[in-house]
Protein backbone atom coordinates (compact mmCIF):
# COMPACT_ATOMS: atom_id res chain seq x y z
CA UNK A 1 0.00 0.00 0.00
CA UNK A 2 1.01 3.61 -0.47
CA UNK A 3 2.48 5.47 2.47
CA UNK A 4 3.61 9.06 2.83
CA UNK A 5 5.82 9.78 5.82
CA UNK A 6 6.65 13.35 6.81
CA UNK A 7 9.59 14.35 8.96
CA UNK A 8 11.57 17.44 9.93
CA UNK A 9 9.05 19.34 12.03
CA UNK A 10 9.93 20.88 15.36
CA UNK A 11 10.16 24.04 17.45
CA UNK A 12 12.05 27.06 16.14
CA UNK A 13 12.26 30.75 16.94
CA UNK A 14 10.83 33.36 14.60
CA UNK A 15 13.24 33.96 11.74
CA UNK A 16 14.59 30.43 11.89
CA UNK A 17 14.46 27.64 9.33
CA UNK A 18 13.24 24.07 9.01
CA UNK A 19 13.29 21.53 6.21
CA UNK A 20 10.36 19.15 5.96
CA UNK A 21 10.62 15.87 4.06
CA UNK A 22 7.92 13.60 2.65
CA UNK A 23 8.90 10.13 1.50
CA UNK A 24 6.62 7.87 -0.55
CA UNK A 25 6.62 4.09 -0.57
CA UNK A 26 4.49 1.53 -2.40
CA UNK A 27 4.06 3.30 -5.76
CA UNK A 28 6.09 5.01 -8.47
CA UNK A 29 6.88 8.38 -6.94
CA UNK A 30 7.49 10.17 -10.24
CA UNK A 31 3.90 9.46 -11.34
CA UNK A 32 2.46 11.76 -8.66
CA UNK A 33 2.11 15.46 -8.21
CA UNK A 34 2.94 16.38 -4.62
CA UNK A 35 1.79 19.09 -2.28
CA UNK A 36 1.84 20.45 1.25
CA UNK A 37 -1.10 21.73 3.27
CA UNK A 38 -1.18 23.01 6.83
CA UNK A 39 -3.77 23.39 9.55
CA UNK A 40 -3.54 25.26 12.83
CA UNK A 41 -5.85 24.49 15.77
CA UNK A 42 -9.21 26.16 15.27
CA UNK A 43 -8.40 27.19 11.72
CA UNK A 44 -9.22 25.80 8.30
CA UNK A 45 -6.74 23.76 6.31
CA UNK A 46 -4.83 25.86 3.79
CA UNK A 47 -2.63 25.26 0.78
CA UNK A 48 1.10 25.81 1.19
CA UNK A 49 2.97 24.55 -1.88
CA UNK A 50 2.74 22.05 -4.74
CA UNK A 51 5.03 20.56 -7.35
CA UNK A 52 4.30 18.80 -10.63
CA UNK A 53 5.65 15.41 -11.62
CA UNK A 54 8.86 15.05 -13.63
CA UNK A 55 8.96 18.66 -14.86
CA UNK A 56 8.85 19.84 -11.22
CA UNK A 57 7.10 23.18 -11.71
CA UNK A 58 6.29 24.73 -8.34
CA UNK A 59 3.39 26.75 -6.95
CA UNK A 60 3.15 28.59 -3.63
CA UNK A 61 0.58 30.27 -1.46
CA UNK A 62 1.04 34.04 -1.30
CA UNK A 63 1.68 33.80 2.44
CA UNK A 64 4.84 31.70 1.96
CA UNK A 65 6.10 32.87 -1.43
CA UNK A 66 9.71 33.99 -1.22
CA UNK A 67 10.27 32.17 2.09
CA UNK A 68 9.48 28.52 1.30
CA UNK A 69 11.00 26.40 -1.46
CA UNK A 70 9.59 23.06 -2.63
CA UNK A 71 11.68 20.51 -4.51
CA UNK A 72 11.53 16.82 -5.36
CA UNK A 73 14.15 14.11 -5.71
CA UNK A 74 12.61 11.32 -7.76
CA UNK A 75 15.65 9.10 -7.20
CA UNK A 76 14.94 9.20 -3.45
CA UNK A 77 11.11 9.20 -3.71
CA UNK A 78 11.09 12.31 -1.56
CA UNK A 79 9.90 15.93 -1.64
CA UNK A 80 11.45 18.65 0.49
CA UNK A 81 9.93 21.85 1.81
CA UNK A 82 12.63 24.30 2.85
CA UNK A 83 11.09 26.89 5.16
CA UNK A 84 13.07 30.06 5.87
CA UNK A 85 12.24 33.25 7.77
CA UNK A 86 9.59 31.42 9.76
CA UNK A 87 6.86 33.41 11.48
CA UNK A 88 4.59 32.51 14.42
CA UNK A 89 1.66 32.37 12.00
CA UNK A 90 3.40 29.47 10.24
CA UNK A 91 2.69 27.30 13.30
CA UNK A 92 0.55 24.35 12.18
CA UNK A 93 0.48 20.67 11.40
CA UNK A 94 1.96 20.25 7.93
CA UNK A 95 0.66 17.36 5.83
CA UNK A 96 2.01 15.92 2.60
CA UNK A 97 -0.27 14.88 -0.27
CA UNK A 98 0.15 12.89 -3.48
CA UNK A 99 -2.18 12.73 -6.47
CA UNK A 100 -1.78 11.03 -9.81
CA UNK A 101 -4.21 13.24 -11.75
CA UNK A 102 -4.54 16.56 -9.93
CA UNK A 103 -2.09 19.20 -8.78
CA UNK A 104 -2.83 19.53 -5.04
CA UNK A 105 -3.40 23.28 -4.71
CA UNK A 106 -7.01 23.41 -3.50
CA UNK A 107 -8.60 22.31 -0.21
CA UNK A 108 -11.85 21.60 -2.07
CA UNK A 109 -10.63 18.23 -3.38
CA UNK A 110 -9.83 14.93 -1.69
CA UNK A 111 -6.45 13.86 -3.04
CA UNK A 112 -5.26 10.30 -3.48
CA UNK A 113 -2.95 9.99 -0.47
CA UNK A 114 -2.06 11.86 2.71
CA UNK A 115 0.72 11.61 5.23
CA UNK A 116 0.18 11.64 8.98
CA UNK A 117 1.40 15.21 9.40
CA UNK A 118 4.30 16.82 11.22
CA UNK A 119 4.07 19.64 13.77
CA UNK A 120 5.82 22.94 13.13
CA UNK A 121 5.87 25.43 15.99
CA UNK A 122 7.39 28.91 15.64
CA UNK A 123 7.88 30.91 18.82
CA UNK A 124 7.80 34.70 18.90
* Mean pLDDT over each residue of the chain, to the nearest integer: 95
Residues 6+ away with beta carbon under 8 Å from 110:
none
Proportion of the chain above pLDDT 90, given as a percent: 88
pLDDT, tens digit, for every residue of 79-99? 999 999 999 999 999 999 999
For residues 88 and 78, what is the distance between their CA atoms, to the nearest angstrom? 27
Proportion of the chain above pLDDT 70, given as a percent: 100
Average pLDDT over residues 23-37: 92
pLDDT at position 29, please? 87
pLDDT at position 74, please? 87
Average pLDDT over residues 46-72: 95
How wide is the angle at C-alpha 4 spanned by C-alphas 63 and 61, nearest 5°?
Answer: 10
Answer whether residue 54 shows pLDDT above 80. Answer: no
Side-chain-side CA neighbours of residue 65 (13 Å): 6
Residues 6+ away with beta carbon under 8 Å from 116:
4, 5, 6, 95
Answer whether residue 53 shows pLDDT above 80. Answer: yes
Partner residues linked to 9 by β-bridges: none
For residues 121 and 124, what is the distance between their CA atoms, to the nearest angstrom? 10
Amino acid sequence: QVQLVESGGGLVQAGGSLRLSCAMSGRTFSSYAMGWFRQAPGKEREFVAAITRTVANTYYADSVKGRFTLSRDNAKDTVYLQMNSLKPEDTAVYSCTADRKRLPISVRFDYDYWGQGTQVTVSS
